[in-house]
Structures are given as structure tokens and as C-alpha cells.
Amino acid sequence: MRTKIKTDKGVAGLTILLSLVTMLFVIGLLVMIFSLMGGELRDATYTATTTAIANESITGLAVAGDDLAVADYQDVVCSSAVVINGTTFEALTVTTDYVVADCNIVGVLGSDFLDADVLISYSYTYNAENTATGVMNETTVAIAGVTDWFGIFIVIGAMVVLILLTVIIVGAVKGSGLMSSGGA
């Protein structure tokens, strides 16, 4: 009885190489999905916080505008601003002397208080980080770091393919009779 031996000639390591490429694609896809999900979960776990600041000093009320101290907070909204002259403590009039928008105070052109030092009191609401957002941020960064290993996977896969090629070439040379099977 004859047994048929399957031989894949000319495809040395191709199946392993294709498996490696498929594995890298699937890992990349999973990393992307988990990173997107982690980012959404992080945004959903902030704690809304409302606070007030009294007499924040702004040096020189300018038409170009000045950011308030909290302007860079996460999703900050400033409201209820009261502005007084820092020297005479005279109250400024909203829309005539100043405008507060997007946590930025802007002097109105023609106001008597342009370039004056002012004190502003206001309340603001922002999304504060908490333990959950910190954990989600660290997890998302760690998951996204998996792609740093792709180069190593590619090198190891190439080494495996080269080793298989070497084994096939040595087997072919031995089978061709070009090498003697005995010792010296």
C-alpha cells in the first residue's frame, strides 16, 4: 500500500508568513478597537465640578483678550463674571467695558478701562479627572503600546521563514546527491 506524502514545493514558509501577517492585522485591529473604546469610556467618566474664583488679577485689559487661569481645563465653561478695576475698585460694565467668552476676557474698544489692571471674580464648571479616568487613560496608552512590538514580530517571522528556507535548501542539496552522506 502506497501512502501519498504531501509536498508543498516552492512555498517555503509561506503559510507561516501569511499567518504572521494575518496575526499582525488582527492584533492591530483589536488595538484600534480597544483604544477607541477606552477613549470613549474615559470621556464618559469625568466628574463635573463647579468652583468659583474671586479676584483673579488680569494685568492690562486688552482688546486682544486674555485667557483666564482655568481656560485650559477639560470642557470648561466660565460664567457669572464680575470685573472691577484693580486700582480704583470701580466696577466695570459688561458689554460696554468687557466681554467674557470661552474663559477669555476681552476689553471692548473705546472702554475707559483698556490697559487697566482688573480683578475678575467668576464661577466655572469643568470635567475633573478622577480615579476611573486615570485608569482608563493608563489602560488605553498601554494597549496602544502593543504596536511597538510589531517590528519584533516581523523580525522573528522573517527569521522563521529564513530557517525554513535553509532547511529546505539543505534537504534539496542532500537529496540531489551533490553531498556525500558519509563522514570524512
pLDDT digit string (tens) for 14-52? 777 778 788 888 888 888 888 888 878 877 888 889 999
Q: In what order do the strands lie in the sheet with 47-58?
A: 47-58, 118-128, 77-85
Are 121 and 63 in the same domain?
Answer: yes
- Residue 51's domain comprises 47-128
Are 62 and 75 in the same domain?
Answer: yes
pLDDT digit string (tens) for 120-179? 999 999 999 888 888 888 888 888 887 788 888 888 888 887 888 888 788 778 877 776
| Residue 182, domain member (yes or no) | no
Is this prediction's pTM over 0.85?
A: no
Are 66 and 92 in the same domain?
Answer: yes
Give the pLDDT of residue 19: 80
| Residue 4, domain member (yes or no) | no
Give the pLDDT of residue 77: 93
Which sign, positive or negative, has the C-alpha torsion 133, 135, 137, 143? negative
| Residue 7, domain member (yes or no) | no
| Residue 9, domain member (yes or no) | no
Average pLDDT for residues 51-57, to the nearest whole number?
92
Give the pLDDT of residue 67: 92
Give the pLDDT of residue 182: 58
| Residue 57, domain member (yes or no) | yes
Are 52 and 124 in the same domain?
Answer: yes
Are 93 and 140 in the same domain?
Answer: no
Domains: count for the chain: 2
